[in-house]
């Protein structure tokens, strides 16, 4: 796809997705988006890469993707939000990404912000990097990676075992520019709502497939196992464990096949 094709997704009136910058190859779209905050009119510009050489996911994991198949995009903004509400931006962004994917195939959310198929296979993920200055968020970089036209049969075995792609779910070849346009529209609308004081939490709870499942969560303090029972009012995942309830603000969720530990 020609680099100019991506410009179809540009909407000058949006705060998110005001301009589209495309790279054949780049280290990290998140790093480039952050750089843009220091450039004139750089805020809100979508940075798209066909290939990332040092892309990363949550918890410092590498993000692998073959060139020209998927959607890797980052934008940086200066949200008008209190630091205490930073978690709402992540929740809202996840809902925006889910909404964009839903134009092609239904996906759910795995806490905190993975996009998953009904069986739990990962379709995409997000990496939100916020900078806090006092009691305000001074900057936020929203990175989104979605497997689009990458068949499971072509994924490395270690990825294919737990992943799928939007095109595979939809049964069609997806126009990635259309997906990007929908993604930027949705993220922009979510930002407006959150800044306006509307909590994304009720919608997130409905979209979160993690609730009601037995999970194992890898945290800095070790692994916690139990039943995911709710998302609390600060966006934390509440787990009923053998030792009582635990509220987690971050961690890597692994769905368990067994029931709750006794």
Quick: pLDDT tens for 169-226.
999 999 999 999 999 999 999 999 999 999 999 999 999 999 999 999 888 888 899 9
The bridge status of strand 222-231 relative to strand 114-116 is unpaired
Q: 131 near 137, Cβ under 8 Å?
A: yes
pLDDT of 255 higher than 70: no
Tokens 């930073």, residue located: 86
Note the CATH number of domain 214-255.
2.30.30.100
Which of 210, 260, 249 shows the shortest CA–CA distance to 230? Answer: 210
Q: Kindly give the interhelix angle for 176-195 and 86-102, rounded to the nearest 10 degrees.
A: 150
pLDDT at position 52 is: 86
Spell out the residues 6+ positions from residue 238 whose beta carbon is closer than 8 angstroms to its own.
228, 229, 230, 231, 232, 245, 246, 247, 248
- Mean pLDDT estimate for the chain: 91
Tell me which residue of 251, 198, 252 sits closest to 85, measured CA to CA: 198
Whether 260 has a pLDDT exceeding 50, the answer reads no
**Is the per-residue pLDDT at 262 higher than 90?**
no
pLDDT per residue over 2-28, tens digit each? 668 999 999 999 999 999 999 999 999
DSSP letter for 7, please. G
Q: What pLDDT is recorded for position 217?
A: 86
pLDDT of residue 176: 98
How confident is the model over 146-159, as a mean pLDDT? 94
Question: Cα–Cα distances in Å, from 64 out to 55, 78, 141, 162, 203?
Answer: 7, 28, 19, 14, 30
So what's the pLDDT on residue 254? 75
pTM above threshold 0.85: yes
Whether pLDDT at 58 is above 60: no
CA-based nearest residue to 187, from 68, 73, 86, 33: 73
pLDDT at residue 60 is higher than 60: no
pLDDT at residue 259 above 50?
Answer: no
Domain boundaries, the chain: 3-207, 214-255
**C-alpha span between 262 and 254 (Å, rounded):** 18
What is the arithmetic mean of pLDDT over 61-72? 81
Between residues 54 and 154, the one the model is more confident about? 154
CB of 21 closer than 8 Å to CB of 33: no
Q: Which CATH class is domain 3-207?
A: alpha beta
- Look at residues 134, 129, 106 and name the one whose alpha carbon lies nearest to residue 209: 106
């Amino acid at each position: 796809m020609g680099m100019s094709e991506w410009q179809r997704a540009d909407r000058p009136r949006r705060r998110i997705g005001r301009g589209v910058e495309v790279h054949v190859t780049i280290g990290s779209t998140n790093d480039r988006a952050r750089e843009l905050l220091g450039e004139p009119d750089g805020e809100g510009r979508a940075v798209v890469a066909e290939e990332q050489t040092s892309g990363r996911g949550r918890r410092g994991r590498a993000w692998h993707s073959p060139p020209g198949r998927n959607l890797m995009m980052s934008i940086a903004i200066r949200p008008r939000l209190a630091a205490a509400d930073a978690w709402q931006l992540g929740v809202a962004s996840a809902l925006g990404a889910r909404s964009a994917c839903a134009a092609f195939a239904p996906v759910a959310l795995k806490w905190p912000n993975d996009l998953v198929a009904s069986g739990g296979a990962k379709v995409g993920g997000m990496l939100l990097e916020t900078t806090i200055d006092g009691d305000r968020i001074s900057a936020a970089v929203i990175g989104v990676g979605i497997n689009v036209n990458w068949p499971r049969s072509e994924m490395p075995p270690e990825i294919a075992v737990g992943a799928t792609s939007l095109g595979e779910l939809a049964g069609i070849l997806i126009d990635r520019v259309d997906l990007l346009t929908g993604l930027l529209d949705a993220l922009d609308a979510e930002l407006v709502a959150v800044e306006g004081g509307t909590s994304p939490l009720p919608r997130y709870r409905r979209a979160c497939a993690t609730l009601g499942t037995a999970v194992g969560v890898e945290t800095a303090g070790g692994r916690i196992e139990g039943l995911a029972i709710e998302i609390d009012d600060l966006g934390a995942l509440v787990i009923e464990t053998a030792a009582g309830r635990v509220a987690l603000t971050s961690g890597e969720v692994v769905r368990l096949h067994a029931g709750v530990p006794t």
